[in-house]
Amino acid sequence: MTTISGGAAVFRSLHHGRAGAGPLVLPGPWDAASARVFADAGFRALATPSAGISAVLGYADGSAPADEMFAAVARIVRAVAADGVMVTADLEDGYGLPPAELVERLLETGAVGCNLEDSDRVTGRLKDPAEQAERLSLVRDAAGDRVVINARTDTFLKGDRAAPDAGPAIDRCRLYAAAGADCVFPILAPAGLLPEIARAVPAPVSVIALPDGPSPRELGDLGAARVTFGGGLHRRAMAAVEDMAAALWAQGEAGAS
């Protein structure tokens, strides 16, 4: 597998010193072809979405087997590594793999980083924060400086959307940063809470950009150091395919009448 020399160190550095430059924007390729499109557009790094890859593989989000997910990530890395484009992979909750095995399998793909979330893949429930911090610490020990760890917390995803509270996310993010996470990811954090979170957490904050939300630049102004899109870009691509399919069907039906 082709790897980027010093890739993790380079990728880690891109999360810092963002003031005035805007956040690190990482498009989410779902296969090798989409990865090439983003690389050809000039992006230096990409972040695979588990939802998009799962859909391409024929699974619901959260249901793709680990072997297939790692193989898909490896294909994406292979498609862009020769151009020096780095890839970080969404590994959901780590698939129950022991930390050392998780790290080695990630490194075998050629990726330089990973997302690890604190929702249990089987039950869907939030994990105990202390236990998740301990797991992150073990992953860090196994990885050394070879992997950039983005610790996702799902407190907003699982919490009260009508009355969001930054406190639980901040507590978890601080624990995860202390455990060795390079950056933290309070997914679906309301934009209005980002300044509070960024001030309280001693690590770069990653956020997800939503179609009806602030732009990546605006999210950076609110405190985000890194912006990703989850499965959003894949969904937009599939919407275009649906429009194409509908038009083709209409043309075919018209031609048959």
Q: Which of 143, 111, 144 is nearest to 3 (CA)?
A: 111
CA-to-CA distance for 69 and 55, rounded, in angstroms?
11
- Written as six digits, the tokens of 212 are 């009806």
- With H, G, I as helix, E, B as strand and everything else as coil, classify residue 62: coil
Residue 20: its pLDDT value, please? 77
Q: Which of 75, 86, 120 is nearest to 10 (CA)?
A: 86
- Written as six digits, the tokens of 112 are 């330089």
pLDDT in tens, the chain (257 residues): 545 557 999 999 999 988 778 999 999 999 999 999 999 999 999 999 999 999 999 999 999 999 999 999 999 999 999 999 999 999 999 999 999 999 999 999 999 999 999 999 889 999 999 999 999 999 999 999 999 999 999 999 998 777 789 999 999 999 999 999 999 999 999 999 999 999 999 999 999 999 999 999 999 999 999 999 999 999 999 999 999 999 999 988 666 65
CA-to-CA distance for 190 and 188, rounded, in angstroms?
6
CA-to-CA distance for 22 and 209, rounded, in angstroms?
14
Residue 254: its pLDDT value, please? 61
